[in-house]
A and B are shown apart, each in its own frame.
Chain A
Amino acid sequence: MNAVTTQPRRPPRRYRVANAWWTVPAVLYLVLFFVTPMLTNAWRSTGSPAAAGARGIWENYAVLVTDPFYFGVLRETILVAVIVTLVCILLGYPLAYFMVRKAGRWKGLILFCLIAPLLTSVVMRAFGWRVLFANRGLMNSVLIDWGLLERPVNLVNHPVSVYVALIQILLPFMVLSISSVLQAIPRNLEEAARMLGASKLRAFFHVTLPLSVEGIITGAILVFVLCNGNFVAALLLGGNSVKTLPLLIYQQFNLTQDTSFAGAMGNVLLVIALLGLWAQSKFARKQGG
């Protein structure tokens, strides 16, 4: 009759595939570049066919948790991720709070400063820290000029530089997760608390903080998982002082070329990442109702 009635009606809130064939490229892509490598990797991690008789299929995994060296690496990987995550929370929350509640028109600039580094390659940023931390780098010369240091401290190839680089790389994810949740908390909830007799601090701890826990958790899981997968910082700045699983994987591939052991370590990382995602979805569901 008119344009409105002849328009095809769509079922609300449900996606329909107009033609099943259209999904073929996407499915092919996923199978080729996602499912296949993962299956190959899982297969590879069970041991090379030649040695399969000698080692059981769980052998690689058994070595990872029983060998003191490898277990130490596994533990250090998780420890680094936990510390980086905690520091990111402690630095990221105030930053996110400031950005959302206090920055006013400067918010855009802060947001830009947070996002801009994400556009630079992680390798470049790690090298940047090398330059800053080097023996005759910016940090040492400034600190010596100010008389705060007598001799340069070498932070390159020192765990501190790995932590600093990881925190710098991952902090934006924390800030963005927290700020997006803070943004959604109506300001007058804090004001309502104030009117009911709460000081600024109590209003924050009773109202704002509990309402932003979701952002902290999302950010923490994101940072934790990304930190677990990052080998560039440890490789370029750690000089073997921080041994993490991803670094070891990198070395297995390039030096010893024990791809089946590297595959096993990769799968362990994958499981940790999946556990993180599972924890988050679990939490999100609990929040939802």
Chain B
Amino acid sequence: MNKSVSLTLTDISKRYGQVTALKPMNLEVAPGELIALLGPSGCGKTTTLRIISGFETPDTGSVRIGTRDVTGLSPNMRDIGLMFQNYALFPHMTVAENVGFGLKMRGIAKAEAARRIETALDMVRMRNFGDRAISQLSGGQQQRIALARSLVVNPSVLLLDEPLGALDKKLREEMQFELRQLQRSFCITSILVTHDQEEALTMSDRVAVMGAGEIRQIGTPQDIYARPNSIFVSEFLGTSNIFSGKLRSGFFVADGVPALRIACTGEPDGPSSLVFRPEKLQITAAGKGQINARVRDVVFRGSQYTYELTVDGHEKPVIVYSQQSFDLPGDGVVGLDWSDAPVLLREVAE
């Protein structure tokens, strides 16, 4: 249906006075792919989107859509759809006028425009809402209209700036699914900006984790979750149990927990950390696991139990997800075991 094209950012950077909003950054979005830019607030996500859409000029680098270099082009010439966090619907126009705005700007004939507006409203399941005022719509409905308005003009690229941030949890989950389906069916090259890790993981083909104005890691959601390349990424994506320690002559030994000693061959000596994901840890009888821990708290969360344990010599609590509950011994001491190898990082948290 769509002329899917790639989106290429080459060495784009941006400073605002003393603040470096974006360090030189490269990103290639394949045709039809959805990449999520995930990162804490202030890391440069919005700046990136504004450079792509043309509202900010990068200090260095270029933006290409397919083979077109659009770096110096004004926003209205770029053929990009942008969905704002607060939807930015025009309050003085009806739903149909909002959706038809882009068609009007492109000088598309009334009859043709009316047909396309109807199709677009159909697509977001808002068929009979054309004559409504924007103020009569709920948050979720406004979100759909904003999406229809962006897509009705068939842009080459779709940018979504925290599109679901203003919705409540249940609606957000519904819309994640719907948005993803629409994006797939249009096969439109997209960038989704979010600070919600779950949204990034469920909706995107690839996730780019950003921190302090640069991409810290990029890859499929599974890849990044299973193999974070830094403490920053592992902590930002999902829950992590991190043990800092030292690697010496092929063995990692955790600081303060000498029992946590793991063979790591082929790595040079130096300060390191081990990352355990909560679902990769298992609780066993005391002494049966690799190290011992004490259960401090158990929380039932419907689909699973969350155990909070303490390990002697380790400051932070250790979190374990488990499908079953255990009969705990009186002193609460249990063993901890793991089947998959934890992730070794060559840095320690400061």
Contact = CB atoms under 8 A, between A and B. Distances in A.
A207 interface: yes
Contacts of A104: none
A197 B88 contact: no
Interface in A186-213: 186, 188-189, 191-200, 202-203, 206-207, 210-211
Nearest to A194: B75
Contacts of B84: 188, 191-192
B260 to A, nearest CB: 51
Contacts of B101: 193, 196, 198, 206
Given A188-B84, A192-B82, A192-B84, A198 B76 contact: yes
Given A186-B88, A211-B92, A195 B105 contact: no
B134 to A, nearest CB: 11
Given A191-B55, A191-B75, A202-B105, A197 B92 contact: no
Contacts, number: 60
B64 to A, nearest CB: 18
Nearest to A196: B102
Given A195-B82, A196-B149, A188 B91 contact: no
B86 interface: yes
A192 B76 contact: no
Nearest to B87: A192
Interface residues of B, number: 23
Contacts of B254: none
B75 A192 contact: no
Interface in A250-281: none
A210 B86 CA distance: 20
Contacts of A206: 101
B105 A197 contact: yes
Contacts of B82: 191-192, 195
Interface string B67-102: 000000011100011101010111110000000011
Interface of A: 186, 188-189, 191-200, 202-203, 206-207, 210-211
Given A189-B88, A191-B82, A197-B76, 13 more contacts: A188-B84, A191-B53, A191-B75, A192-B89, A192-B90, A193-B90, A193-B101, A195-B76, A195-B80, A195-B150, A198-B101, A203-B76, A210-B92
